[in-house]
Structure 1
Amino acid sequence: MSRVSLKVTGAQGQGVNSVGEICGKGLKRAGYCVFGYREYMSLIKGGHSSYQLDISNEKIESTETRADIVMNFDHHGLVENFYDVKDGGILLHQTPMWKFTEEQQKFLKEHAVTVVYLPVEEVLRKLRAGPILGNIFVTAVVWALLGQGADALKELVREQFGHKGEEIIRKNFEVIDEAVAYISRQEAVHPLALMKPDVKWRNHLYLTGSQAMGLGIIHAGCRLYASYPMTPASPLLTYIADMQNKTGMVIKQAEDEITAAQVVSGAMLMGTRAATATSGGGFDLMTETLSLNGLLENPFVVFLFQRPGPATGLPTWTAQGDLLLATGCAHGEFPRLVMAVSGSQDAFDLMPEVFNYAEEFQTVVIVLSDKQIAEGLSTQSPYDQKRAEIRRGKLITSPKALAKLTAADRYDPKAVDGLSPRWLPGTEAATFSSQGDEHDAEGRVNESGPNAAEQMEKRMAKMDALRKALPEPELYGSQNPRVLVVSWGSNRGPLSDVIKSDAFIGRKVSYLHYSYLWPLRTEKLMKLAERAEKTVLVECNYQGQLGMLIAQECGLRFDHRILKYDGRPMFYDELFEQLTALLP
């Protein structure tokens, strides 16, 4: 698999994102698969940030640590991102009279890096163009170095700024032409030789994981979404809110996370598919409501977007440190399902199942995501909008069936698999009580020992039924592995890219991916582990939390662990190097 990468760095507010977004969209249209990755500090303006695009004519779902072209808007990038350029790469900057240290000059020479200074301010003065057009100049230079034609870029610019009038468009085009002419005069630099484009990518979507998840939530029949903004869950709220006029959904930006959870709880009790999303401390505030829904046996859906903790931690970076939180949060013992999305495909595909399982098993469903998924940009094939089905379990709606119900049916301790009939308040049926104290079959407060044990056993019986109903983890690579890699969440992208790379083909390396994390199915894992010579756990947390759950459930302990906990995702080249070292 061949790939080329571009990184743009600068202060937040300088236009770093706009360069990446225009180039990403244009390259996808040109016939390339593009994966976008953003880094930024928890400051609205002024913090150092970067936007990276990895480009191929084959499917890629990951980022490299180094790039073929590194463009620096300010001098901070020349310091912090200096060593991010690949051997033979191009280092662009617009800092006048910048002098590299002796060590940097040695690096540039040894690694054949070409440095190009861009006189952006000088060019804009000559063209009598405003400073804001500096971003277009930089974009045009990068676009030309990627071997792309100016006409395609002009088309993108017209799409984005055409509503501002022809004079604005004309000035943008002047800047583009001047940028292309300038870079063509630099004899020391040559455009990168991109791989041959593939037309199939042109009709693909180019979207973030949050947008994919939002589409999936809508597709799953969700009619109410309540949330309080918190990075990295906020982009999902923004996207669903932007779609409100098209979907007719009820969208509530609550005053806090407790309110958001309570609104969703009430909506689900009344039969409306509803969801909320949060991160870190916001989820902590929701856990009392999760416990309440555990007792009520009420469907409840929450999306937990992970970021590094503890406390505020690194609010704009990524992690997988909340798996144990999800499996053990909230007081008391009650059944729950913990799932995790891994990218733009299952962020859509799994959404109907999230709500189906919540309703079928009348339980809390926690869906894990992270900043890497939420804000990463993927080239995605159009979604199948006909395959999903809606399953509502034992929800009783027909008048004839409702008339036969008794109040004691609602929490009947003898219900098979703990799954008793559920009906909605206000329907013409027997009345039951839905409240937060331990209750008898009719929902009335009952503190007797035998009743408490009976109701606990009824609720927890759903966990065994749920475990049997869940799919096994998905296997990528050899069916008879010598090296078995196990992971979950956003690690799937770089791991699948590594496994299908030329160096790993025929090496009997497999990747077992978990989407359903609790209750945990281990039968397939144990069979594969018995045959493998080496087992490897890959996670973005300090403890190896999935490994801990696996050891708890089946006793398997991994031979090797690749753990990362610096707020950055797993990068393709990092995993490639570490897994190559483990090949037999």
Structure 2
Amino acid sequence: MSRYLISWKVGGEAGFGIKSAGLTFAKVCKRAGYFVFGYDEYPSLIRGGHTTYQVTVSESPVASTAEEVDILVALNKDTFTRHAKELNHGSVVIYDKTAAPITLTEAQKEMHIKLVHIPLALLTEQAKGQPVMRNTISLGASQAVIGLPFSMLASVITQTFGHKSALIETNITAARLGYDYVRKEYPKLDFKTKLWNKPDGKELLLTGNDAIALGALAADLRFYVAYPMTPSSSILHYLAGKASSQKLVVKHAEDEISVINMALGASHAGVRAMVGTSGGGFSLMVEAQGLAGITETPIVIVNAQRPGPATGLPTWTEQGDLRFVMHAAQGEFPRIVLAPGDHAECFYMTAKAFNWADRYQVPVILLTDKFLGESHRTVEPFDVKRVTVDRGKALMSDAALRNAKAYKRYKVTADGISPRSIPGQKNGVYLANSDEHDEFGFSDEESANRIEQVRKRARKFALAAREINGAMLYGSPKAKKTVVAWGSMKGPVQDAIAWLHPSQQRKINFLHLNVLWPFPSETVAQVLGRAKTVLLVENNSTAQLGGLIRQQTGIYLEHKLLKYDGRPLYPSEIKERLLML
């Protein structure tokens, strides 16, 4: 059983306009009333190297990329060589036999794979376009194969190029040539799935990084600073474009050490601040995160994971930083670690991250990855009314400070949360000290004071553990099989279960964790304790969540599905493993 209608992939050399072609195809299908999920893969090169963009099209919400391909647009022979094994029965390959000669094997012929030759170079000349416009011609050909009216593609092209009338005309001409060529030369082409134009829904088409940026703006973000690092860079790009209209300060700093210290300064001054990076950049921020811990300065840190160590695979995906961010920086201090599972959670959990940072006066780390952050997906419009701005009970008013006899920034309180002033408030002066300090902020190395301040900070974490539960169970609590995963694996797992037969679906539930620290030990222990069989799904090699579960609950998970080649897990891989249990 499959939930998707078409899996379309375009591939070629970097610089061929692969991503723009993929996003255009996704927009067309979205406008036709379908749900889409788009994911691109590219090498860590400035130019050259193999690049793809894959779009999964469905009549119902889809949250992952398919392993199989129904339409392969091969802009060079290398694309076919690499991806022929992904072709389905009855798939179509769009190619130029002059530039990329392809010969089907006997096995591929038995699968009824159809080759659709388009003279891309010749049609590009006829359109009076640049060689990169082969991608646009291929889009027109794809449109003819799936059966959608050409006007939909022309509309997306017109919107994409805005007021650049010459580019609009040339690209529409190129797309029309590809469309007409298929209609004329392949009139009997019988592609297995035809799409029809349905009413366009209200859904948005955006990336996880877009959703994080929007969630931060909804939460009253006022200062964003970053040093570009894949796969977090598009957050910087998006917010920079909104800086003027949203009265937001956006800084591209010289390195990650400067990034986090600038953000801490902004937060100390009273505005909500966020930084974005990946694992290597976060490594440089570690000492300053400790400064946030001891000065109890709120900050939101986005760590968009990619495979390490060192440079690793800088343009691919992995869930390898969980244990790192949980314990980064010397000493012990509270922090909160979140891992949104989909684009909607990217929006709402980012907003919550700011509230929790202010409420508990701690660093809050938002763990995403390349798969979630850079994938495009159709989602319901976000409800901004669900977002509230809570600066925390301890942010003191001018009136409260006027009545305070002696302001103690690090006052020992029952819940560990101390009153917080903003620079410039009368009677609110204190010392933000990186040394251990007393209640006023002055250095104090006495034993009793050290114990008192450590325990005070620890009580904040205990409070957060009581108030925050990031474990969500999908499906029947009585199911015999439980899948457990965290962060971006939510989509592939949910799609895998949905693609099972209903009789099998009823036997499986899914425990997803989007708050990893403080760990929801009680909920996890209850759910896993009831299950007869548990499958752990992670995009890393060491089962980091599995180790955390054993540490916090004593439960060892025997069955694991781990993937760590830089690629996301496919629903088909999860489905296959579930059927084996």
Where on the TM-score scale, by shorter chain, does this alignment land: which range?
A: over 0.9
1:146-545 to structure 2, matched below 5 A, reads 146-161=146-161, 163-165=163-165, 168-184=167-183, 185-186=185-186, 189-194=189-194, 199=199, 202-407=201-406, 409-413=408-412, 415-505=413-503, 506-545=505-544
Most deviating of 180-189 and 214-223? 180-189
Rounded to whole Å, the distance in 1 between the matches of 2:168 and 2:253 is 41
Q: Tell whether the 8 Å contact from 1:277 to 1:303 is kept in structure 2 after alignment.
A: yes
CA change 1:510–1:314 in 2 (3 A) is same
Q: Helix, strand or coil for the counterpart of 2:368?
A: strand
Most deviating of 76-85 and 36-45? 76-85
Tell me the CA shift for residue 479 of structure 1.
Answer: 2.2
Tell me the CA shift for residue 180 of structure 1.
Answer: 2.1
Give the structure 2 partner of residue 134 of structure 1.
134
Give the structure 1 partner of residue 66 of structure 2.
64
Rounded to whole Å, the distance in 2 between the matches of 1:89 and 1:269 is 58
CA change 1:468–1:34 in 2 (3 A) is same
Rounded to whole Å, the distance in 2 between the matches of 1:302 and 1:97 is 47
Rounded to whole Å, the distance in 2 between the matches of 1:13 and 1:129 is 15
Rounded to whole Å, the distance in 1 between the matches of 2:126 and 2:297 is 67
Q: Deviations over 1:62-108 (max 9, x none)?
A: 1111110011111211211221211111112224175556xx51231
Rounded to whole Å, the distance in 2 between the matches of 1:432 and 1:170 is 64
Rounded to whole Å, the distance in 2 between the matches of 1:477 and 1:458 is 39
Rounded to whole Å, the distance in 2 between the matches of 1:233 and 1:143 is 32
Q: Tell whether the 8 Å contact from 1:477 to 1:500 is kept in structure 2 after alignment.
A: no
Most deviating of 380-389 and 313-322? 380-389
1:580 maps to a residue whose letter is L
Tell me the CA shift for residue 448 of structure 1.
Answer: 1.3
Tell me the CA shift for residue 195 of structure 1.
Answer: 5.8
Rounded to whole Å, the distance in 2 between the matches of 1:61 and 1:298 is 36
Identical residues among aligned pairs (%): 37
Q: Deviations over 1:259-302 (max 9, x none)?
A: 11001111111111011011121101101011011111111211
Most deviating of 569-578 and 391-400? 391-400
Give the structure 2 partner of residue 54 of structure 1.
56
Q: Deviations over 1:449-481 (max 9, x none)?
A: 221111111111111111001024111112212
Most deviating of 360-369 and 182-191? 182-191
Q: Tell whether the 8 Å contact from 1:307 to 1:320 is kept in structure 2 after alignment.
A: yes
Aligned length: 577
CA change 1:4–1:453 in 2 (3 A) is same
CA change 1:380–1:97 in 2 (3 A) is closer
Q: Deviations over 1:20-66 (max 9, x none)?
A: 11111111011000100100000121110100000011011111111
Tell me the CA shift for residue 150 of structure 1.
Answer: 1.1
Tell me the CA shift for residue 169 of structure 1.
Answer: 4.2
Tell me the CA shift for residue 398 of structure 1.
Answer: 2.6
Q: Helix, strand or coil for the counterpart of 1:394?
A: coil
CA change 1:416–1:150 in 2 (3 A) is same
RMSD value, Cα: 1.8
Q: Helix, strand or coil for the counterpart of 1:202?
A: coil
Most deviating of 419-428 and 213-222? 419-428
Q: Helix, strand or coil for the counterpart of 1:193?
A: coil
Q: Tell whether the 8 Å contact from 1:394 to 1:420 is kept in structure 2 after alignment.
A: no
TM-score normalized with structure 1 length: 0.95
Q: Deviations over 1:97-155 (max 9, x none)?
A: 75556xx5123123221112221112333455443432221110011112111122122
CA change 1:46–1:347 in 2 (3 A) is same
Rounded to whole Å, the distance in 2 between the matches of 1:334 and 1:376 is 34
Q: Tell whether the 8 Å contact from 2:495 to 2:571 is kept in structure 1 after alignment.
A: yes
CA change 1:367–1:97 in 2 (3 A) is closer
Q: Tell whether the 8 Å contact from 2:141 to 2:178 is kept in structure 1 after alignment.
A: yes
Q: Helix, strand or coil for the counterpart of 2:147?
A: coil
Give the structure 1 partner of residue 125 of structure 2.
125
Q: Please tell me whether residue 550 in structure 1 is matched to residue 552 in structure 2.
A: no
Q: Tell whether the 8 Å contact from 1:411 to 1:442 is kept in structure 2 after alignment.
A: yes
CA change 1:252–1:560 in 2 (3 A) is same
Q: Tell whether the 8 Å contact from 1:231 to 1:315 is kept in structure 2 after alignment.
A: yes
Most deviating of 554-563 and 46-55? 554-563
CA change 1:412–1:378 in 2 (3 A) is same
Residue in structure 1 matching 2:89, options 70, 87, 90: 87
Give the structure 2 partner of residue 110 of structure 1.
110
Rounded to whole Å, the distance in 2 between the matches of 1:493 and 1:543 is 21
Q: Deviations over 1:480-503 (max 9, x none)?
A: 121111111110011111222342
Rounded to whole Å, the distance in 1 between the matches of 2:97 and 2:427 is 74
Q: Please tell me whether residue 96 in structure 1 is matched to residue 98 in structure 2.
A: yes
1:25-44 to structure 2, matched below 5 A, reads 25-44=27-46
CA change 1:344–1:445 in 2 (3 A) is same
1:434 maps to a residue whose letter is A
CA change 1:123–1:489 in 2 (3 A) is same
Q: Helix, strand or coil for the counterpart of 2:216?
A: helix
Tell me the CA shift for residue 377 of structure 1.
Answer: 0.2
Rounded to whole Å, the distance in 2 between the matches of 1:150 and 1:491 is 36
Q: Helix, strand or coil for the counterpart of 1:89?
A: strand
Give the structure 2 partner of residue 21 of structure 1.
23
Tell me the CA shift for residue 5 of structure 1.
Answer: 0.5
Tell me the CA shift for residue 350 of structure 1.
Answer: 1.1
Gaps of 5+ in 2: none
Q: Tell whether the 8 Å contact from 1:225 to 1:274 is kept in structure 2 after alignment.
A: yes
1:369 maps to a residue whose letter is T
Q: Tell whether the 8 Å contact from 1:56 to 1:195 is kept in structure 2 after alignment.
A: no
CA change 1:502–1:400 in 2 (3 A) is same
Tell me the CA shift for residue 408 of structure 1.
Answer: 5.9
Q: Tell whether the 8 Å contact from 2:94 to 2:138 is kept in structure 1 after alignment.
A: no
Q: Tell whether the 8 Å contact from 1:341 to 1:515 is kept in structure 2 after alignment.
A: yes
Most deviating of 287-296 and 78-87? 78-87
Q: Tell whether the 8 Å contact from 1:38 to 1:52 is kept in structure 2 after alignment.
A: yes
Tell me the CA shift for residue 229 of structure 1.
Answer: 0.6
1:78 maps to a residue whose letter is F
Most deviating of 445-454 and 395-404? 395-404
2:448 maps to a residue whose letter is P
Gaps of 5+ in 1: none
Q: Helix, strand or coil for the counterpart of 1:207?
A: strand
Q: Helix, strand or coil for the counterpart of 1:203?
A: coil
Q: Tell whether the 8 Å contact from 2:350 to 2:366 is kept in structure 1 after alignment.
A: no
Tell me the CA shift for residue 194 of structure 1.
Answer: 3.7
Q: Tell whether the 8 Å contact from 1:137 to 1:179 is kept in structure 2 after alignment.
A: yes
CA change 1:574–1:267 in 2 (3 A) is same
